[in-house]
Structure 1
């Protein structure tokens, strides 16, 4: 009976595995491991420093750089179930940090409106670690799949990993994002101690909110502002450097700390003009009951702030400071004397993100129209993130003289990057291309989606002569007039911040079938707001109306999008100013 039992077991096991398709991120044609520096060197391994660093940094720093803290893998999948299996090289947990944080993974999904959702996964820890996810949330677009982010272990080294979906389902890895990263150099807290799971490290919480790549170079007990590490950091063309090393600077006098901090900033400034943020020691849980602990971190903070003042007097530009008082960690926000709990990580992330948004000029309002967010409402037509990356690449290749920002009405007009369809090729080529316009329209975009794109560099790195904004029609059915007006005002401020020399024209929302009266009233308000903002307003859509104030359906393909003749009528008014 035993041979028969074994045969039956093997057959069942084989059948179960045959029902799953497994994907290995290290066996892709292009790098897909996010939040790494030096992707060309290490983009298919789960480490944080390139091999040449082994001879340039201390052995313990090199060893810690093998941990995958901050790394993530993004993918699309329409699977109702997802499995992750992998092995690690180190101990699964620590006395003050659970296996789920030290060695676990964490998965989030985004719905079609860009809202992020935590995905709980059952798990088992052993020689091979396994996570199991059931995706039961339904939406109209679920058959086309969600966008997933899988965050890797904070304090362990991943040897190999596979992501599995049922054989009838699909999984597509998202290539490494090409936007400039934030680079964090810090301590065990920066690395993620003592978060209960990877996505609860303060740096990852902030990364999920800002949605910039963030390279985590936190080295437990060994973030010491060392020249060897800083040399590698300066190789990265970052949008911001964060130095959070004070807790690991031991046995130094005030003059020594001042010199260490100043030398670190000067070393970065030798090659980079990127903003630098210095962060105070966040303090200790027992500072109120142990005066020696209070005095130790307070003196470090005093010393670093004196270094900051000295740098300012020297004329060093674009350096910023986040104080202990601004961090303001709650008394219950610790696991031990210095490492935050998830509660503390949340508080620290909020404080640092607030400062980062001030530095990078990324304000967020209280309305949905003033909150930057991605979307994926038309994956059957195009991939929103892929188009964003294509636009960034095109702007680097061919500097835009003029830009038009919008939704599908713009996207499907014409020009490059090529959209899924072109409804007005002739007028685009004769009018818009002649004026040098780049098409930055995205199908089904709303005001808040354009805000995200502006915050993510679509108007950065060049000086445009003209910018046309034609957005808002997809907000009409879900937002009040006031929300739309304030969203457009907020958006114009973001545009002006990045393109101060450009002439800016706002096109009134084009008329829509059965919405003509509402849109006419709304455009009157938009006109008044635009005038106060010292921009140009044009109601190009009047050319698409009949004498009865209703749309001329012969000028539309579907009651919303103009056809070739409709685009021909509105193109001159939009392009010329």
Structure 2
């Protein structure tokens, strides 16, 4: 664990020069459309979407910064605004912390360090020390932001004399991934283990993670917002929080609203993962079957009406076959997230082309 300091103490200010990181990547709407740099929906969404969705959209889940530096030591400073900073099934490192990846000399992004706060407010952390020099001089880093908190004033500290460059935002068309708490990142151990983060590294392109814990019920207002964005593909993964009746009522209007503005963009409909305690609990399998049947009927109607770029991914294999991929039967652990991403990648590559990134 990184060395922490809860205040702007003199030791850190003497040892490091601080570089504000500005607007993160992984968002669809930049400033000034959003109220803060780490909001995931535009300000006008507040009057359009359910209040819980709006509040959750202010979490920085899936957002990240990229920078290059030749520093032998890296610190970070960030401010989180919401309590609690950890959940019963989610540590502070993912709920409210930072997760640092670094490129090796082959360009492969690999995990490097994590930082976590002990409470709300500003945390200063010495993330990584004794860094080996990169062959190219400047090593590229990716810093993932908290999954279940609001964050402000993210800055990187490097020793005096070290170079630091903010990397321009990737212009590659992003994938938009809309879903529930599972897409939100509950209950990853680190921010970089959430599915949008893993997919982004593997696909080699930005992934806009629009996961909303306890929500994502295919409100048509959200489809209208998402249709504003010029993306490479839409991934729709909403079944875990919907009833079969909601799927029957909402899935087709949601997709048709996307198609109104994005007639040819690939759309992948994803079935809900099978809960790992379904084998022992009455009615769970039936609920899965009813929701999936409703989604497949909507898919078949839309394809039958002429939608040639609508795709479907069945739940088989999403979490593996050993019931070991979740923390509570529903929310994946890091193991579960990695299994789901491994299952998703071939389907995504069919939509957006070969991977430009790498597994891991």
Instruction: Report the TM-score, using the length of structure 1 for normalisation.
Output: 0.57
Match of 2:239 in 1: 246
Match of 1:37 in 2: 28
Q: Where do 1:157-236 residues align within 5 Å?
A: 157-236=150-229
Q: Offset at 1:358?
A: 2.0
Match of 1:456 in 2: none
Among 256, 277, 280, the alignment partner of 1:266 is 256
Quick one: structure 1 residues 174 and 328, their matched pair in 2 at CA, closer, same or farther if it must change by over 3 Å? same
Match of 2:6 in 1: none
Match of 1:283 in 2: 274
Aligned mates of 2:134, 2:19 — CA distance in 1: 26
Q: Offset at 1:135?
A: 4.6
Q: Offset at 1:140?
A: 5.5
Quick one: structure 1 residues 302 and 167, their matched pair in 2 at CA, closer, same or farther if it must change by over 3 Å? same
Aligned mates of 1:194, 1:373 — CA distance in 2: 24
Which is richer in helix?
Answer: 1
Q: Offset at 1:137?
A: 4.8
Which is richer in strand?
Answer: 2
Q: Offset at 1:361?
A: 3.1
Among 81, 84, 95, the alignment partner of 2:76 is 84
String of CA shifts for 1:79-107, please: whole Å, max 9, x gaps.
11111111111120111111111111101
The answer to whether the 8 Å contact 2:196/2:208 transfers is no
**2:104 is aligned with 1:104:** no
**2:342 is aligned with 1:350:** yes
The CA RMSD measured in Å over matched residues stands at 1.9
Match of 1:293 in 2: 284
Aligned mates of 1:101, 1:21 — CA distance in 2: 26
Aligned mates of 1:122, 1:53 — CA distance in 2: 31
Q: Offset at 1:337?
A: 2.1
Aligned mates of 1:286, 1:98 — CA distance in 2: 23
String of CA shifts for 1:158-200, please: whole Å, max 9, x gaps.
0322211111212111122222110111100010011011011
Among 70, 73, 76, the alignment partner of 2:62 is 70
Larger-Rg structure: 1
Aligned length: 345
Higher relative contact order (CA closer than 8 Å, sequence separation 6+)? 2
Is there any run of 5+ residues in structure 2 with no aligned partner, and where? Answer: 1-8
The answer to whether the 8 Å contact 1:114/1:373 transfers is no
Q: Offset at 1:59?
A: 1.1
Q: Where do 1:357-372 residues align within 5 Å?
A: 357-362=349-354, 372=356
The answer to whether the 8 Å contact 2:174/2:206 transfers is yes
Quick one: structure 1 residues 339 and 76, their matched pair in 2 at CA, closer, same or farther if it must change by over 3 Å? same
Among 110, 135, 144, the alignment partner of 1:151 is 144
Q: Offset at 1:327?
A: 2.1
